[in-house]
Amino acid sequence: MRHVAILALAVLLVAGARGTAWAQAPIEGELALITPVSKFIHDAALKAFAEYAKEKWNVTVKVSAIPAGTPVAYGRIVEWKGRPDADIFWGGESALFEKLAAQKLLQKVEISREVWDSIPASIGKPRAIPLKDKQGFWVGTALEPYGLVYHPKKIQRLGIAEPTEWDDLLHQKLKGEVAQCAPTRSSSSNATYEVILSIHGEDKGWDWLRKLAANTGFFTARSRDVPTVVAKGEYSAGFAVPSYMAFEEKLAGFELKFVAPKNAFVTPEPMAILAGSRNPKAARAFIEFLLSERGQKVFMERGLFPITPKYKVQGPPGSTAEMAVEFTGGVRSYFDRDVSNVYDEDVAQKRSEALKQKFRTDIEATWKKP
């Protein structure tokens, strides 16, 4: 049958390509990511790395990415059972990386000592946010706050002040005007729910979240949709949005605004090499590249912040880096300011299941479109 022949041919081609290519080269000729970090960032990072590899080793690296929300990416890595179809997992909560490491699905990052040491162990008070794994299984790549977004024209029409704090989202006039993603589907939403519970305590925290739900007009299927619907003007404000996603809309020509309120969660965008990766050398080279000045620039020009105190977001007037600084409220580095953080990794992990369950029963099942 024809399909059998095609199958056999495909198998031969795959096997052939694997056997011969780049046996001698300093890095392999392929690199694949699985990541919740959006295309805007991961495409740019992969492209910059491919150029760098060409310059440095004259190796053409075939780069690709499987875009997947954090839970999906995690689930697929578990399903691969140590024979992954990608080399690197990038983004999401650091706790998930530790869960993967415990299942022996990650290998140690093993980049050069100097690069590793240039990244501080943690940031934030009173709770510390780890920026790299003590055991060496993952390393942070960039800092990114989860804040709120709003459409200035819509806010003006509603006749209210521009929001600056989480509580501003509970304004009566914003009824039906807020967009958010369910914490069961988005790590940024989940983390920000956790932040609210940490600020107010369990009971008052859920009261607060129920009030937010009452103002919510749209539960998006994915966190990335939140800034999109606000930028377009479909809804006036959005909850728990990563800074770069909002900045991407700004660069796309929308008049969206972003605020990281006090205690906004800051993620280090962890990165790890999967156990059984077929391109471990390329994976390691990719991580080292991202932590170099050239790699960090990719982030700094896209609304993210450097992971080490060595660099600051800056550029000539009118550059996208300066635009990003203005967009995120004048922040150039998270290391030259006090970072207030109440998110506690252990507490978050312990009540993670309960949080999702309570969201399902208390909010999702009872929510009615206002």
Partner 1 sequence: MTRLAPYSGHPASASASRAGRVMPALGVGLIWLFLLVFLVYPLARILYDAFSDEAGRLTLANFVEFARDRFYLRSLVNSLVLGIGTVATTSVLGFAVAFLLVRCDFVGRNLFSYLTLIPIISPPLVGVLGFTFIMGRAGTVNVLLEDWFGLTRPINFVYGLHGVLLVETLHLFPMITLNVVDALAKIDPALEEAAESVGARRWTRLVTITLPLTTPGYVAGALLVFIWTFSDFATPLVLGVHDLLASQAYLNIVQFVDRRLFRMGIVISALMVALAVVFLIAARRYVAIKDYSSLSYSKVPRRRLSWLGQTGAIGFLSALMLLSFIPYLGVALASVGRGWSLTPFPVRYTLHYFERVIVETPKYIVNSFLYAGLAVGVCIVVGVPIAWILARTRLPGRDTLDGLNTLILAIPGTAIGIAYVRAFHFELPGVGYALTSLWIVLPLILAIRRLPYTVRGSYASLLLVHRSMEEAAASVGARGWRSFRDITLPLIWRGVLVGSLFSFVTSLQEASAVLFLSLGGWETITVGIFSFYIAGSANEAAALGVILIAVAAVSVIVINRIAGTRMGGMFG
Give the other-Cβ count within 10 Å of 154's Cβ. Answer: 18
- E-assigned strand segments in the chain: 30-35, 62-67, 88-90, 106-107, 122-123, 125-126, 129-130, 139-140, 144-150, 178-181, 216-220, 237-242, 257-259, 266-267, 270-274, 340-341
Residues 6+ positions from 357 with CB-CB distance below 8 Å: none
Residues 6+ positions from 293 with CB-CB distance below 8 Å: 310, 311
Looking at 153, 211, 310, 337, which residue binds partner 1 (CB under 8 A)? 153
Give the other-Cβ count within 10 Å of 115's Cβ. Answer: 17
> Which parts of 237-256 interact with partner 1 (CB under 8 A)?
245, 248-249, 252-255
Q: From 28-36, 100-108, 258-266, 340-348, give the range in contact with partner 1 by CB under 8 A.
A: 28-36
19 binds partner 1 (CB under 8 A): no
Question: Over the Cα atoms of the chain, what is R_g?
Answer: 21
231 binds partner 1 (CB under 8 A): yes
Looking at 7, 17, 21, 102, which residue binds partner 1 (CB under 8 A)? 7
Q: From 115-123, 140-148, 227-235, 295-303, give the range in contact with partner 1 by CB under 8 A.
A: 227-235
Nearest-approach distance from CB 353 to partner 1, in angstroms: 8
Nearest-approach distance from CB 305 to partner 1, in angstroms: 20
Nearest-approach distance from CB 136 to partner 1, in angstroms: 24
219 binds partner 1 (CB under 8 A): yes
Contact (CB, 8 A) for 151 and 256: yes
Looking at 98, 107, 119, 154, which residue binds partner 1 (CB under 8 A)? 154
The token pair that represents 362 in the structure block: 């208390």
Contact (CB, 8 A) for 147 and 243: yes
228 binds partner 1 (CB under 8 A): yes
Nearest-approach distance from CB 4 to partner 1, in angstroms: 9
356 binds partner 1 (CB under 8 A): yes
Looking at 25, 44, 48, 72, which residue binds partner 1 (CB under 8 A)? 72
Residues contacting partner 1: total by CB under 8 A: 64
Burial 42-77 (b: 16+ CB within 10 A, else e): beebbebbbebbeeeeebebebebebbbbbebbebb
48 binds partner 1 (CB under 8 A): no
Residues that bind partner 1 (CB under 8 A): 1-3, 6-7, 10-11, 14-15, 32-34, 38-40, 64-67, 69, 71-72, 74-76, 78-79, 83, 85-86, 96, 151, 153-154, 184-185, 217-222, 224-225, 227-228, 231-235, 245, 248-249, 252-255, 353, 356, 360, 364-365, 369
